[in-house]
Amino acid sequence: MDRNTLIAFLLIALVLILTPFYLEQFAPPPEKNTPHKEIKDRTEGETRTPVTPPEAGEKPATAESSVTPTPLAVTDITDARETIINVQNDLITAVISSRNGGSFLSFSLKKYAMQDTLPVELISNYNKNNLLIDVTSLDGDPFVLNNSWQFLGSETNIDASEKAQTLRFSTVLFGQTITKTLIFYPGSYRVDMEINLSAVSNELSQKSYRLSWNGGLPPTEKNLKDDLYYFKGYVYQGGEVDDNTKIKKEKSTLRKMPGETDWVAVRTKYFISALIPKEAAVGAEISGTMVNGVPLYNVALNQKSDKTQLVTLYLGPLEFRRVKALGVELEKTMSFGWSLIRPISRMVLALLVYLHKTIPNYGVILVLFSIMVKLVVYPLTKKSYLSTQKMQAIQPKVAALKEKYKNDPQKLNKATMDLYKEYGVNPLGGCLPMLLQMPLLLALFQVFRSTIELRGAPFIFWIKDLSAPDTLIEIGGFPINILPLLMLITMLLQQKMMPTQAPGQQKSMMYVMNFVFLFIFYRLPSGLNLYYTLFNILTILQQKLLSSHPIITEPVNKKPHRKK
The 10s digit of each residue's pLDDT in 45-94 is 443 333 333 333 333 333 333 333 333 334 444 456 899 999 999 999 99
Cβ of 449: how many Cβ atoms within 10 Å?
Answer: 21
- Phi, psi (degrees; rounded to nearest 5) at 493: -65, -40
Question: What is the model's pLDDT at position 105?
Answer: 97
Give the residues of the chain that fall short of pLDDT 70.
Answer: 1-80, 250, 427-434, 498-507, 548-564
CB 551 within 8 A of CB 386: yes
CA angle 78, 82, 88 (to 5 degrees): 150
Predicted TM-score (pTM) of the model is 0.79
User: How far is Cα 486 from Cα 537, in angstroms, rounded to an integer?
Assistant: 10
Q: Whole-angstrom distance between the N-terminal and C-terminal Cα of the chain?
A: 32
Q: What is the pLDDT of residues 153-208, one digit of tens each?
A: 989 999 999 999 999 999 999 999 999 999 999 999 999 999 999 999 999 999 99
Helices (H), 27-65: 36-48
3-state SS, 481-512, equals EHHHHHHHHHHHHHHHHCCCCCCHHHHHHHHH
Question: What is the model's pLDDT at position 397?
Answer: 82
The DSSP symbol for 408 reads -
The DSSP symbol for 4 reads H
Helices (H), 49-202: none
User: How far is Cα 170 from Cα 152, in angstroms, rounded to an integer?
Assistant: 7
Domain limits of the chain?
Answer: 77-334, 357-547
The DSSP symbol for 126 reads T
Q: Which of 172, 169, 173, 171 has its CA nearest to residue 138? A: 173
Counting every residue, how long is the chain? 564
User: How far is Cα 516 from Cα 15, in angstroms, rounded to an integer?
Assistant: 11
Question: What is the model's pLDDT at position 552?
Answer: 57
Question: What is the model's pLDDT at position 500?
Answer: 55
The CATH code of the domain at 77-334 is: 2.70.98.90
Q: What pairing do the DSSP bridges indicate for beta strands 157-159 and 84-88?
A: parallel
User: How far is Cα 205 from Cα 191, in angstroms, rounded to an integer?
Assistant: 28
Question: What is the model's pLDDT at position 212?
Answer: 96
User: How far is Cα 394 from Cα 99, in angstroms, rounded to an integer?
Assistant: 81
